[in-house]
Amino acid sequence: MFRRPRLRSVTRAALSLALLALVAACSSDDGPPPGCPRTDFVTDLDHVTVFTDGAVGDLTDVRFDARFGSLSAVCNFDSDALAMDIGFQVVATRGPANRDNKADVTYFLAIADETGAVIAKEVFEASLPFKGNLRRVAITDEFEPTIPYPANRLTLNNYRVMIGFQLTQEQLAYNRSQRR
């Protein structure tokens, strides 16, 4: 259901997104077109702070902090399914306890139907290297999920594509404590 494109060129992605938007806007169907699912980052799962083992909460023990940024989502209404192009950034900041010069993150993309039930979920891993003296690094990741049309295509308006970091219970509790 989720597919990563082979080429990750920013120019290619921008051109593809612009062309897909144009095609989607100009397509003509007999009935009203379905809507594009809401695509967003999940509250409390949109960032992660990784500490050295057993040191949750002590800022001198932060290995890295990672957050999502610059989300884009475009829908292409094919004859039998909704094909999406989703792109977003993962930005990591090195902490004082980072000894391996990288930030290994795990995140997911999930699709919920109009009832809120998750109908698909896939987990991905990425490693962001802190080369030289870099304190902050970013990658852009792209996905092309395909959603088969439900019986009533208009219910796609109420579908949701959710993106979040795959957190431990301790990381989730830390995120929630920082929100207060």
pLDDT in tens, 57-99: 778 899 999 999 999 999 999 888 999 999 999 999 999 999 9
pLDDT band of 32, cuts 50, 70, 90: low
Tokens of 106: 């795990």
Residue 179 and residue 44 in contact, taking contact as beta carbons nearer than 8 Å: yes
pLDDT in tens, 21-30: 434 444 444 5
Which amino acid, residue 14?
A: A
| CB within 8 Å of 178: residues ≥ 6 apart | none
Residue 161 and residue 97 in contact, taking contact as beta carbons nearer than 8 Å: no
pLDDT in tens, 115-152: 999 999 999 999 999 999 899 999 999 999 999 988 88
Fold of 10-26+56-179: Immunoglobulin-like (2.60.40)
Tokens of 152: 């009533």
- Nearest C-alpha neighbor of 40 from the set 164, 153, 179, 175: 164
Q: Where are the domains of the chain?
A: 10-26+56-179
Tell me the C-alpha distance between 96 and 74, whole Å.
38
Residue 162 and residue 44 in contact, taking contact as beta carbons nearer than 8 Å: no
Q: Which pLDDT belongs to residue 79?
A: 86
| Bridge partners (DSSP) listed for residue 81 | 148
Tokens of 162: 């959710």
